[in-house]
């Protein structure tokens, strides 16, 4: 194989990256799209949007890179977790995809929670609590509310599985994504039969689970023609986007902690064996490095920053093309003029519930302490600090489990903000490293999986450690330690105080 394609199926954008045999990035394309959000609880996407965005992105990177589409290639996928699809016996979608942030299945989560205790759910799936965001309650929601869809289900798939099927005609999935479905046993590595029975589905309606890095077949001829490819394209099983991103920044050994601030805030710590949180707070996933595990905590942090841009920073969006800067860069410039702590402004950045270790599916965004002296710049910084506080809580959750966090490696869109990286370093008390490929780390991680799958590299660890390079470090500063310690305590107090008033069904 001369080239390796890393496909990153994100929440609000798809990235397609092409890399050569040395791991050098040749070209990357990003295709953004909006989600379908008809209510506060419902988040969906037209499946054709995903496919069309990928096709457009691939066309763009081929044109930009000058890579000959007739060359042999290998492809692997980095995919958002929990986004759920239902197809009929012919593989045709039965409805829109239900995106991971969707929170409609709260009644079903309560119903399943009465049947399976949190302790039992954690022991099997690694997830410490039954939540409406997990796919199992959503499957039950479809059964209860859309029986016309449920009766026609041929396969229940995650987004990665659907793309594997579209590419090869084969129904395959893997453990890092299926960990949080609550339908797969991460230790025994088999489907959880009791849960399937409770949902009214059979194992035959689910994909075959294989290890990441497994070659699953060559791309179908009709698909290569549609995509403008002419050579053999070997499709290799990928993994969870955050796990791929961790690989892309060299987080392949214990002690390194990677954080990604995209649509979601996610953090990963690599483990050589499963470690279950005795407090029932931090989720455990199977890794896309065969035989390893990760503690991977999620929260809807990054989407809050995007909301701030789209709703309150229209001026920045309007002038950014004329200046040649992104709206986020202009927002950073404004926030940098505000002192640490945002003059007492505190934000709980939870638009779609809060994640570990402060798990609450009902949590909402809250702006506390707003006064006449505060400006838009204060709000921007307070949102950035609020999301950084969530990251600090994730670090605290790992420390409570005696999982070491020696350094933080930042990736995804948030890594482009020097201000945000410094805020994260100061609030967590850890140096934050940005890697040279931080923005495209998930694509690069997927490309590494593809390369290992076709035998170019002997292992994921060896490939990542030989190719990943550090770019810059943001050292934790002591000057704002007291301000941020107070902010962290205010966040905890507000979460505890507001818990009874977060609206429930």
Question: Does residue 266 have a pLDDT over 90?
Answer: no
What is the pTM (predicted TM-score) of this model? 0.86
Beta bridge partners of 261: 265
Residue 252, C-beta contacts closer than 8 angstroms, at least 6 positions apart: 246, 270, 289, 460, 461, 464, 465
How far does CA 350 lie from the centroid of its chain? 16
Residue 432 to residue 440: CA distance in whole angstroms:
17
- H or E stretch at 140: helix 135-145
Q: How far apart are CA 296 and CA 307, in angstroms?
A: 24
CA torsion, ordered 53, 58, 64, 70, to nearest 10 deg? -160
Name the token pair of 94: 């039965």
Per-residue pLDDT at 96: 98
Residues 431-471 have pLDDT tens digits of: 999 988 888 999 999 999 999 999 999 999 999 999 998 89
Average pLDDT over every residue of 335-363 = 92
Tell me the HSE value of 180 on the side-chain side, using a 13 A CA sphere: 28
Q: Phi and psi for 280 in degrees, rounded to 5? A: 65, 40
CB 238 within 8 A of CB 76: yes
pLDDT score at 505: 60
Write out the E strands in 283-394.
Answer: 284-286, 293-299, 346-348, 366-368
Query: What is the rounded distance in angstroms from the CA atom of residue 377 to the CA atom of residue 356?
Result: 28
481's CB contacts (< 8 A; 6+ apart) are 426, 429
Count of alpha carbons within 13 angstroms of residue 373, beta-carbon side = 6
Average per-residue pLDDT for the chain? 94
Under 8 Å CB-to-CB from 182, ≥6 apart: which residues? 112, 121, 124, 125, 127, 130, 134, 135, 136, 137, 192, 195
- Determine contact, residues 338/480, Cβ cutoff 8 Å: no
In tens, the pLDDT along 351-409 reads: 878 988 998 888 999 999 999 999 999 999 999 999 999 999 999 999 999 998 988 99
User: pLDDT, tens digit, for every residue of 62-82?
Assistant: 999 989 888 999 999 999 999
pLDDT at 240: 95
Residue 338 in contact with residue 377, Cβ under 8 Å? yes
Confidence of residue 15 (pLDDT cuts 50, 70, 90): very high
Q: Tens of pLDDT along 143-174?
A: 999 999 999 999 999 999 999 999 999 999 99
112-140 pLDDT per residue, tens: 999 999 999 999 999 998 999 999 999 99
Cα 317 from Cα 326, distance rounded (Å): 8
Cα separation, 7 vs 15, in Å, equals 6
Residue 430's SS3 state is coil
Sorted by where each starts, the structural domains of the chain and their CATH numbers stand as: 3-241 (3.30.420.40), 243-298+432-474 (no CATH), 299-407+478-501 (3.30.420.40)
180, 195, 291, 196: which is closest to 241 by C-alpha? 180
């Amino acid at each position: 194989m001369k080239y390796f394609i890393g496909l990153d199926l994100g929440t609000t954008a798809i990235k397609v990256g092409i890399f050569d045999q040395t791991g050098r990035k040749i070209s990357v394309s990003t295709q953004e799209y909006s989600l379908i959000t008809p209510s506060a609880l419902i988040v969906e996407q037209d499946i054709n949007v995903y496919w069309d965005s990928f096709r457009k992105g691939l066309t763009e990177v081929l044109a930009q890179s000058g890579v000959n589409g007739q060359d042999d290639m290998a492809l692997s996928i980095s995919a958002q977790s929990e986004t759920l699809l239902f197809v009929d016996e012919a593989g045709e979608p039965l409805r829109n995809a239900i995106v991971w942030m969707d929170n409609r299945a709260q009644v079903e989560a309560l119903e399943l929670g009465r049947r399976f205790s949190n302790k039992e759910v954690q022991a099997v799936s690694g997830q410490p609590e039954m939540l409406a965001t997990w796919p199992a309650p959503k499957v039950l929601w479809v059964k209860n509310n859309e029986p016309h869809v449920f009766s026609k289900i041929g396969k229940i798939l995650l987004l990665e599985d659907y793309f594997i099927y579209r590419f090869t005609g084969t129904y395959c999935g893997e453990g890092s994504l299926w960990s949080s479905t609550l339908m797969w046993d991460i230790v025994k590595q088999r489907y959880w039969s009791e849960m399937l029975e409770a949902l009214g589905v059979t194992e035959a309606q689910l994909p075959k689970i294989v290890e990441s890095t497994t070659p699953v077949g060559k791309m179908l001829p009709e698909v290569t023609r549609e995509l403008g490819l002419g050579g053999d394209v070997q499709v290799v099983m990928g993994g969870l986007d955050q796990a791929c991103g961790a690989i892309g920044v060299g987080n392949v050994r214990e002690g390194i902690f990677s954080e990604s601030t995209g649509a979601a805030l996610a953090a990963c710590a690599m483990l050589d064996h499963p470690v279950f949180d005795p407090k029932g707070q931090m989720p455990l996933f199977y890794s896309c490095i065969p035989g390893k595990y990760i503690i991977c905590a999620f929260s809807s942090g990054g989407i809050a920053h995007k909301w701030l841009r789209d709703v309150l920073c229209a001026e920045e969006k309007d002038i950014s093309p004329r200046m040649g800067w992104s709206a986020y860069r202009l927002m950073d410039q404004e926030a940098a003029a505000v002192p640490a702590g945002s003059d007492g402004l505190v934000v709980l950045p939870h638009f779609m519930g809060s994640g570990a270790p402060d798990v609450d599916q009902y949590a909402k965004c809250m702006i506390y302490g707003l006064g006449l002296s505060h400006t838009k710049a204060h709000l921007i910084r307070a949102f950035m600090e609020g999301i950084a506080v969530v990251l600090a809580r994730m670090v605290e959750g790992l420390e409570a489990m005696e999982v070491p966090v020696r350094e933080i490696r930042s990736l995804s869109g948030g890594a482009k903000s020097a201000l945000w990286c410094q805020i994260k370093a100061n609030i967590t008390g850890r140096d934050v490293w940005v890697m040279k490929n931080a923005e495209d780390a998930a694509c690069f991680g997927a490309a590494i999986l593809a390369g290992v799958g076709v035998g170019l590299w002997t292992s994921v660890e060896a490939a990542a450690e030989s190719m990943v390079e550090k770019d810059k470090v943001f050292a934790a500063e002591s000057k704002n330690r007291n301000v941020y310690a107070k902010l962290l305590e205010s966040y905890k107090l507000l979460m505890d105080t507001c818990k009874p008033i977060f609206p429930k069904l």
